[in-house]
Structure 1
Amino acid sequence: MFRKWKWIVMTLLVAAIMLVIRLEDNGILKTPIRQLVTTSADMTYLSELGQSLLKKEEKKITVSSDIGQSDLLSFANAEEFEEGYLLQYEVGLPVYTGQEGLVVFTGHTKYTGKTMTISYADGTTVSYGMLDSLAQLPYTSVKSNDLIGMKESGQLYMSIEKNNIHYTLEEIVQWLQTDENEN
């Protein structure tokens, strides 16, 4: 029964935020609510709040798996773009989550097209853009190796931020390698 109430409260919170943002978009509210609730710090806070409300006592079982983010390390070229990098791939690939987290954005942006942003449990916020398809809905919890979306050959945008600092390409590669070793 208590878990049901947590879901109701979380759903109402998300609905209230979406309603207020819609009111701002239509010019009814002059306060920049979207900016207030879509900063990295606020998304991290909402992620932690949501995860604490939905926290289940689970028994962890170690399993081995050949899926993960190792395919993302196979890019042929990279160039700096916006606050991240465009990674060039010769073949299409599925894109998986690196660890547990919360999807904080799913949609289309002007510069990165179909984009998904995930706030991971380790405090990193990762945006995957220029995806060809999206496999998760906003404000859903994800586990390690959950499918994010699909990327055909071409460029994939990736940006990682932690403590308001954006990762360099070398740090992104290291994060992907470390993340893969933990899975």
Structure 2
Amino acid sequence: MFKKWKWFITILLVAAVMLVIRLEDQGVVDTPVRKLVTTSADLTYLSELGQSWLNQEKETIMVSSDVGQTELLTFANAKAFKEGFLLQYDVGLPVYAGQNGLVVFTGHTKYTGKTMTINYEDGTTVSYGMLDSLAQLPYTPIQTNDLIGMKEAGQLYLAIKKGDTHYDLEQMVQWLEMTETNEN
């Protein structure tokens, strides 16, 4: 009988922490819950623990089509923002890695919301911000066409830096086109 209660209490704790974090993300709660749960590994552990208890397994669907940066080139307009650009999209889109690299940051920032930063093999560092979901964890090696995250219709933040140089809009478009050319 005690095992059932322990299981139930743990599920409630996980659900409560995840709910409070969502409320914190929406600005409803001022308590810095993310600081209390100290690392993304803690959150990942709690999430995986809750999913395993609820028998919700992650499902992988294999597809065979050319994916990549092409959809990122379909933005309706762009405006400068911080070190990058806000790209406007009329429809949602998946965001894929342009080449092999290493995820160096995955998290939430004040100005760009859910953000992922990747150091690519060509020496560029690319930050994808204002994503609606993230598909990779920090310090994860990625391959060309690995899913980075999803973006619903609206603005996507994109900043590309090589060395000390931040790319302007023309350089950014050229880099996206180059990564698309290298995929085919």
* Fold shared per TM-score above 0.5: yes
- Summarize the alignment of residues 114-125 of structure 1 with structure 2, pairs less than 5 Å apart: 114-125=114-125
SS in 2 for 1:106: strand
Name 1:178's counterpart in structure 2: 178
State the distance in 2 between where 1:123 and 1:87 align: 23
Size of the aligned set, in residue pairs, is 122
- Summarize the alignment of residues 10-159 of structure 1 with structure 2, pairs less than 5 Å apart: 65-159=65-159
State the distance in 2 between where 1:152 and 1:100 align: 25
Structure-1-length-normalised TM-score? 0.65
Structure-2-length-normalised TM-score? 0.65
The structural deviation recorded for 1:66 is 1.6
Paired amino acid for 1:174: Q
Between the aligned residues of both structures, percent identity stands at 72
The structural deviation recorded for 1:65 is 4.5
Give per-residue Cα distances to partners, 1:115-150, cap 9 Å, x unaligned: 000000010000000000000000000000000000
Q: Which has the larger radius of gyration?
A: 2
State the distance in 2 between where 1:107 and 1:87 align: 20
Compute the RMSD of aligned alpha carbons: 1.6
SS in 2 for 1:145: coil
Paired amino acid for 2:100: E
State the distance in 1 between where 2:91 and 2:65 align: 22
